[in-house]
Structure 1
Amino acid sequence: MNVVLWIIAGLLAAAFLAAGLMKVVQPRAKLAESGLGWVNDYTDIQVKLIGAVEVLAAIGLTLPALLDIAPILVPLAATGLVIIMVGAIVVHARRKENQPLIANVVLLILAAVVAWGRFGPYAF
């Protein structure tokens, strides 16, 4: 199970690193043009902050365990992603966007599995 948790954490880290960097680097208008219509409901700063939190969570999913420095940050990062995904689900449900809603539920479940495993029976 330890290997499975590492794989899930790595996949989550890659996904959130890419998504977060995209939100941090690209202007809000370009994000909206690329299909992220929800960004029009938020300010530039809010979108950048969401992206920065996603990048930090991606780093927190892997780096502390790899370096064996404060590995408790891994399940905390996964828990943070669960909270972010709950917020994303609420936003997409209100906007009646079903496609991103499904992806958000899958990411939430994967993050919850990592949080459960790393807080519980497979802690570092």
Structure 2
Amino acid sequence: MNLALWIAAGLLAAVALTGGITKAFVPKEKLAAITGGGWTDAASVGFVKTLGVLELLASAGLILPAVLDIAPVLVPVTAICWVLLMVGAMITHLRHDEAKFIGVNLVYLAVAAFVAWGRLGPESFLG
């Protein structure tokens, strides 16, 4: 179980890192062209950059606290925050008629919920 949780957290961190780098450092116009417009057209540059920074922080929060053994409780907290972020992403995609992305967001949500459940329950870092 511990190995599965590490793999899930690692995959989620990789997704968050990729999305964070893209949103934080790629110009909004280029990002809109890559993703086909949609929600990025309606969002401000600051909002897109903020999401990118949050995703970069999530990528660190899913791995580093446990690896460094500094406040490892932040791993499930970060996973819970990722669940909330995915709920927001699904709502946003629904509002912009981008239902094709909801399935992907749902998978990320499920993986994050698994990490949160596992790290708060059976394979807790707390004791």
Q: Same fold (TM over 0.5)?
A: yes
TM-score by length of structure 1 reads: 0.97
Stretch moving more, 31-40 or 72-81: 31-40
Q: SS at 1:34's partner residue?
A: helix
Unaligned runs of 5+ in 1: none
Q: CA deviation at 1:120?
A: 1.3
Distance, in Å, in 1 between the alignment partners of 2:49 and 2:96 is: 20
Alpha-carbon RMSD: 0.8
Query: Identity percentage over the alignment?
Result: 49
Structure 1 stretches (4+) deviating beyond 4 angstroms? none
Query: What TM-score do the two structures reach when normalised by structure 2?
Result: 0.95
2-structure distance, mates of 1:100, 1:36: 12
Could you tell me how far apart the structure 2 residues matched to 1:106 and 1:21 are?
20
Quote the Cα distance in structure 2 between the aligned partners of 1:79 and 1:72.
11
After superposition, give the CA deviation of every residue in 1:39-68 in whole Å (9 maximum; x if it has no partner).
Answer: 111110000000100110110000010011
Gap runs ≥5 in structure 2: none
Q: Name the count of aligned residue pairs.
A: 124
Residue 66 of structure 2 is matched in structure 1 by 65
Structure 2 residue aligned with 1:80: 81
What displacement does 1:35 show?
A: 1.5
- Which piece of structure 1 moves more, 17-26 or 27-36? 27-36
> SS of the counterpart of 1:123?
coil
1:27 and 2:30 aligned: no
1:1-124 map, 5 Å: 1-37=1-37, 38-124=39-125
Compared CA separation, residues 87 and 77, structure 1 to 2 (3 A): same
* Aligned equivalents of 2:109, 2:97: Cα separation in 1: 18
